[in-house]
Amino acid sequence: MGALTSAGADEIAFLSNPKYRQELQRTRAAAVIVPPEFAGDTALPRIVHQNVYAYYARVVALLNPPAYRAPGAHPSAVLHSKVPASASVGENVVIGRDAVIGENVTLYPGCVIGNGVSIGDDSLLYANVTIYDNCMVGRRAIVQAGAVIGSDGFGFAKEADCWVKIPQIGRVIIGDDVEIGANTSIDRGALDDTVIGDGVKLDNQIQIAHNVVIGDHTAMAGCVGIAGSTTIGKRCTVGGAGMIVGHIEIADDVHISGGTLVSKSVRKPGQYTSVYPFAPHAEWLQGAAQLKHLARLAERVSELENKLAQMEKKS
């Protein structure tokens, strides 16, 4: 596979963005994947599909299968639980007591699987993933390197000038077909569980706090932060660096733009944005200064409207 501009005579390219339509005439690819409306724009062998990007994803997966690791446990692995013969356990992996490892699970070097953890069939954990005690991961999960599942939530009670740690005794429950990005952290629940639904896709360096619930097939880009006890619905998306405060609810099919701060519950589906427009610094300062006067300006406009209404009545 290759991009339209760089694909060679032994590669397949694709067009999903009309912006690059002209590249169809110049590409050196052997074949292309195109939507129906562009099928006549090229004489190359072509696959015509309504959802080009999804079709491309499947072709790439077919032509580039994950690296194969032979079943069995490396001699350096420390196993306190039985592992099925179909599983692949890499160098220096540690599996705690009473853990349940499914069929065809692959654990890359350095993974640490706590006591009582459950990992479903066909799941793949890359190097140095840590799963704390009693957490559950569903089938066909992909967990990228360095992710941490089940670390303590940020729970402290103020006592005079000090903070008293609140033990975090819940779990993390992860559904089937979930992907978790590199260095993403998912905190265990304080009392109830943190729950990640089926088909959820999480990018790199995301922070999910204790007792968060994320609905099925929701996707989040890198550096999103979600504070504790927030519930997010199904089929939602959150753009990169989106921030969501705690103890709120977000409905199904809500789409949060990148960099947005969500400070209250969202009850209706749709697109939501709170990013201040990017501008040269001097313009930004001028706009910020004007914002301070908006409340007074609104009051003056209201006063003028009232006076105008009174004058119209008298006339």
Residues annotated as catalytic (active site), given as ranges: 210
Strand order in the sheet with 31-34: 12-14, 31-34, 46-48
205 neighbors 227 (Cβ within 8 angstroms): no
Specify the DSSP element, H or E, that contains 101.
strand 100-101
- Enter the tokens of residue 264: 């209250």
Single out the residue of 46, 17, 19, 18 nearest to residue 31, CA to CA: 46
Find how far residue 298's CA is from the centre of its chain: 40
Single out the residue of 171, 115, 106 nearest to residue 144, CA to CA: 106
Task: Reduce the DSSP state of residue 65 to 3 states and report it.
Answer: coil
Q: Is 294 left (phi over 0), alpha (psi -120 to 50) or beta?
A: alpha
Single out the residue of 192, 196, 185 nearest to residue 171, CA to CA: 192
70 neighbors 88 (Cβ within 8 angstroms): yes
235 neighbors 251 (Cβ within 8 angstroms): no
| All residues at 6 or more sequence positions from 271 whose CB lies less than 8 Å from its CB, including other chains | 255, 257
Indicate the pairing of strand 156-159 with strand 162-165: antiparallel
Single out the residue of 43, 52, 48, 46 nearest to residue 15, CA to CA: 52
